Amino acid sequence: MKQLSCIEPGFWEFQKVDLPISKPGFALLKIRRIGICGTDLHAFEGTQPFFSYPRVLGHELAGEIVDIEEDSVFKKGDFVTIVPYYSCGDCRACQTGKTNCCTHIQVAGVHVDGGMAEYFQVPIANLMKDPDLSLDELALVEPLAIGAHGIRRAHIQKRDRVLVVGAGPIGLGTVKMAQIAGADVILMDVNAQRLAHVQQKWGISLAINPLKENAMASLQAYTNGQMPEVVIDATGNVKAIETSFSYMSHGGIFVLIGLQLQSISLSHPEFHKREGTLMSSRNATKEDFQRVIDAMKTGQIVAHDFITHRLAFEDVPSKFSRLLDPQTGVIKAIIQLD
Domain boundaries, the chain: 2-129+306-336, 146-280
Phi, psi (deg, nearest 5) at residue 117: -160, 165
CATH number belonging to domain 146-280? 3.40.50.720
- Identify the residue with better confidence: 327 or 303: 303
**Does pLDDT of 50 surpass 80?**
no
Q: pLDDT, tens digit, for every residue of 289-312?
A: 999 999 999 999 999 899 999 999
Tell me what pLDDT residue 326 has.
80
What confidence tens digit (pLDDT) does each residue in 202-255 have? 889 899 999 999 999 999 999 999 999 999 999 999 999 999 999 999 999 999
**Whole-Å CA distances, 216 to 54, 150, 211:** 43, 23, 12
DSSP 8-class letter at 18: P
pLDDT surpasses 80 at 261: no
Q: Which fold has domain 2-129+306-336?
A: Quinone Oxidoreductase; Chain A, domain 1 (3.90.180)
Strand, coil or helix: what is 69? coil
Residues with Cβ < 8 Å from 311, sequence gap 6 or more? 36, 319, 320, 333, 334, 335, 336
For residue 266, count other CB atoms closer than 10 A to its CB: 16
Cis before 54? omega within 30: yes
Same CATH topology for 2-129+306-336 and 146-280? Answer: no
Q: Percent of the chain, pLDDT > 90?
A: 87
**Can you tell me whether residue 223 is helix, strand or coil?**
coil
